């Protein structure tokens, strides 16, 4: 690898169920302008734009980057559009970082968004596709049986999912950009939350959000200069994909996730993620995915993830805080949810996370996954240049 890549600007929108005050262009522009302001740069300083989002049917606009070229300041410049399902926010950042690391561009703007209120994601995920047997399950219906399988395997008690939801929603109270702010949520009220896809209750499910996230990535020259916050340096990035289904595939603890984690840890010199990392933003759209990914990502042995959650290890004041921003459970503009994970850890190592800043973060993991737990993208960012 030639160039080192840094995050020098981060921006995001206030995530809401319906951003009726802005168009799709207005939404991405809002995040991009905040990232540029954070980087103390202007549109002219950007060499290329990389945009990502989940399926186009989530808004009903085919290849929307074509229409967004103007709002993204891409006219006359190279523009790429990434789509890798739920992992796309992370993959988009990896593609953008690649342009810097390969020495092709000095400063790249990367943006991810979803404006779920424009269409209906549940419909888009269940529409019968020609030549395929329709699943008609939506995301929750798809993942609930895998969660059941995890509970069966690990012997985890039933309330672990609720603990994750309580923790992430409490963290969201520290994050002004988060979609859900519910200071009255308690374990008792969470237990009364309606059952959506057994064992997942309403409160254990991510919301449908309109939102966008943007980052300015730069090489060593582009990162030079004085800004309000120092850069976050990319110490490693990795992606892995595997097929949706075949006999013998472990969908609860997928190999693509384990391989991806091993790759990114090797690049970043991480041998014991729980000890070596200071916090993590991990794609947890349904509560139980915290203990499941704790195991998949090697933060503990298989079968023990739920114990870390129960003991509070992943809480804001735990030894390895997970999702101090409130995570996907508190804001879910789908295509942007992965980039928000990547961006939030950049904020943490820059000391720029505001009220949800975890003390002394030097090295942190951002994670995203998508499809049938089959697409993974991860990066490790650090305060020091590697």
Partner 1 sequence: MRDVAVVAFAQSSAPAEQRRNDVEILMPVVQDAVERSGLGHDEIGFTCSGSNDYLVGGPFSFVGALDAVGAWPPIRESHVEMDAAWALYEAWVQIQKGVVDSALVYGFGKTSMSDLAKLMTLQLDPYYLVPLWPDADTLAALQARAYLDATGRTERDLAAVAARSRTAAAANPNAVVTEAVTVDDVLSEAVTAPPLRRSECAPITDGAAAVVLAAEDVARSVCTRPAWISALDHRTDTHALGARDLTRATSAAIAAEAAGVGSGPVDVAELHASYAHEELLLRDALGLREDTDVNPSGGALGANPVMATGLIRIGEAARRVHDGDASRVVAHATQGPCLQQNLVCVMESGGR
User: Does residue 312 come out as left (phi exceeding 0), alpha (psi in the -120 to 50 range) or beta?
Assistant: left
Task: Determine if 136 is a binding residue for partner 1 (CB under 8 A).
Answer: no
| Closest to partner 1 by CB, 220 or 259 | 259
Choose between 242 and 295: whose C-beta lies nearer to partner 1. Answer: 242
Question: 3-state DSSP call for residue 93?
Answer: helix
Near partner 1 in 155-194, by CB under 8 A: none
User: Angle at CA 187, nearest 5°, toward 171 and 308?
Assistant: 60
Q: Which of 47, 220, 259, 276 binds partner 1 (CB under 8 A)?
A: 259
246 interacts with partner 1 by CB under 8 A? yes
d(CA 269, CA 348): 19
Closest separation in Å from C-beta 315 to partner 1: 31
Q: Are 332 and 206 in contact (CB under 8 A)?
A: yes
Q: Is 133 a residue that touches partner 1 (CB under 8 A)?
A: no
Return the exposure string of 8-22: e unless at least 16 CB atoms fall within 10 Å of the residue's CB, then b: bbbbbbebbeebeee
CB of 43 to partner 1, least distance (A): 14
**Residue 220 interacts with partner 1 (CB under 8 A)?**
no
Per the DSSP assignment, residues forming a β-bridge with 88 are none
Complex with partner 1: residue 44 or 131, whichever CB lies closer: 131
Give 54's DSSP letter.
Answer: S
Please tell me the distance from the alpha carbon of residue 145 to that of residue 147, in angstroms, as a whole number.
5
Contact range with partner 1 by CB under 8 A, out of 87-95, 191-199, 293-301, 357-365:
87-95
The CA distance from 298 to 261, in Å, is 8
> Is residue 94 part of the contact set for partner 1 (CB under 8 A)?
yes
Beta pairing class for 6-12 and 232-241: antiparallel
- What is the DSSP-derived secondary structure letter of residue 333? -
Q: How far is CA 178 from CA 28, 231, 359, in A?
A: 17, 23, 20
- Give, as ranges, the residues between 18 and 77 that touch partner 1 (CB under 8 A): 23-24, 54-70, 74-77
Least Å distance between CB 380 and partner 1?
Answer: 15
Selected binder of partner 1 within 6, 36, 79, 156 (CB under 8 A): 79
Name which of 77 and 274 has its Cβ closer to partner 1.
Answer: 77
99 binds partner 1 (CB under 8 A): yes
**Residue with Cβ nearer partner 1 (83 or 159):** 83
Q: Given the rule CB under 8 A, which of 93-101, 147-155, 188-196, 268-276 is the region that contacts partner 1?
A: 93-101
- Name the helix (H) or strand (E) containing 82: strand 79-82
Q: Are strands 279-281 and 363-370 parallel, antiparallel or unpaired?
A: parallel
Q: Catalog residues that contact partner 1 under the rule CB under 8 A.
A: 1-2, 23-24, 54-70, 74-85, 91, 94-95, 98-99, 101-104, 118, 124-125, 127-132, 238-244, 246, 255-256, 259-260, 371-372, 374-375
């Amino acid at each position: 690898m030639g160039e080192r890549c840094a995050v020098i600007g981060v921006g995001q929108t206030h995530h809401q169920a319906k951003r009726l005050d802005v168009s799709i262009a207005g939404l991405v522009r809002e995040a991009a302008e905040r990232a540029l302001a954070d980087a103390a740069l202007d549109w002219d300083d950007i060499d290329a734009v990389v945009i990502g989002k989940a399926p186009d049917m989530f808004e009903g606009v085919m290849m929307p980057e074509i229409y967004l070229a103007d709002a993204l300041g891409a006219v006359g410049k190279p523009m790429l559009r990434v789509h890798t399902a739920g992992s796309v926010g992370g993959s988009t950042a990896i593609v953008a970082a690649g342009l810097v690391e390969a020495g092709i561009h000095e400063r790249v703007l990367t943006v991810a968004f979803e404006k779920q209120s424009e269409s209906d994601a549940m419909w888009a995920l269940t529409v019968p596709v020609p030549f395929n047997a329709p699943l008609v399950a939506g995301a929750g219906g798809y993942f609930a049986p895998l969660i059941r399988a995890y509970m069966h395997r690990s012997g985890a008690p039933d309330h672990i999912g609720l603990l994750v939801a309580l923790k992430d929603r409490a963290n969201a109270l520290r994050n002004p950009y988060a979609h859900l702010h519910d200071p009255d949520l308690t374990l008792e009220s969470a237990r009364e939350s309606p059952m959506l896809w057994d064992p997942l209750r309403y409160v254990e499910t991510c919301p449908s959000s309109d939102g966008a996230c943007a980052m300015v990535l730069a090489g060593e020259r582009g990162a030079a200069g004085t800004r309000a916050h120092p850069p976050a340096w990319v110490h490693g990035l990795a992606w892995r994909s595997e097929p949706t289904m075949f006999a013998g595939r472990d969908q609860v603890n997928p190999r693509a996730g384990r391989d991806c984690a091993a790759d990114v840890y090797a690049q970043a010199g991480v041998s014991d993620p729980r000890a070596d990392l200071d916090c993590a933003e991990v794609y947890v759209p349904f509560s139980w995915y915290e203990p499941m990914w704790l195991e998949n990502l090697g933060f503990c042995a298989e079968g023990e993830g739920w114990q870390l959650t129960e003991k509070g290890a992943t809480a804001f004041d735990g030894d390895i805080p997970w999702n101090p921003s409130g995570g996907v459970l508190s804001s879910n503009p789908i295509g942007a949810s992965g980039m928000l994970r990547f961006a939030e850890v950049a904020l943490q190592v820059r000391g720029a996370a505001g009220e949800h800043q975890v003390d002394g973060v030097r090295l942190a993991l951002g994670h995203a996954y998508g499809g049938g737990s089959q697409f993974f993208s991860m990066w490790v960012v650090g305060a020091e240049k590697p």
